Amino acid sequence: MYKGIELSASLMCIDWLNAGKQLSQLEDNKLDYLHLDIIDGRFASDFTMGSSIIDHFRENTNLPSDYHLMVEEPSRLMESFQVSPGDIYTIHQECSRNLHRDLVSIRRMGARVGIALSPGTPITALDYVIEDADIILVMTVNPGYKGQPLVQQAIRKIKDLKELITRMGIETKISVDGNVNMNTVPDMVASGAEILVLGSS
């Protein structure tokens, strides 16, 4: 943690030919989480890691896991991944037919509960469920491929979300994923971001 900001490193952006070395570097640099993007090719047009690969990484690091499921109906995959205390488990509002039920199921797994919003999804989509979330993940690019340009309106969304959280008096944290770099971080943090997902940018 740096001045109250937590850092989560995206495994999606690792150099697979040097994965062990880079994992050690992440630990040496005292990052807070290992961000695990799980994509099923339906909600987002790419595929990433399955449970066997993720479990292998988990066995070789002490970093808490920051799961980000970009999959249709995430409840069908919840049993596939191991969860430890301190882990974050985030699902997309756009992907779950019964979001509240799925959030309750994640809580029962022992994880911190996260809800992700794609760039075009308004924060009003969190009505009646935001109180059940420990973290709201604001996507500042569209879900899927790495290296996309920032969706500028997302900065305003972070600010509006922070104002909502403050007004409600809840302790939900804001995480930001997409084009997080030296140029964009100041605006993200000033707007209310507390967890930054670091990837190819």
Name the residues annotated as catalytic. 37, 177
Burial (CB count within 10 angstroms: exposed 0-12, middle 13-18, buried 19+), residue 5: middle
| Neighbour count for residue 86 (Cβ, 10 Å) | 14
DSSP SS3 for 190 = helix
Q: What is the C-alpha separation between 36 and 14, in angstroms, rounded?
A: 11
| Neighbour count for residue 177 (Cβ, 10 Å) | 26
Q: Which residues of 14-34 are buried (b: 16+ CB within 10 A; e: fewer)?
A: beeeeeeebbeebeeeebbbb
Cβ-contact 113, 74 below 8 angstroms: no
* Number of helical H runs and strand E runs in the chain: 5, 8
Beta bridge partners of 197: 8, 177
- Nearest Cα residue to 75 out of 47, 48, 97: 97
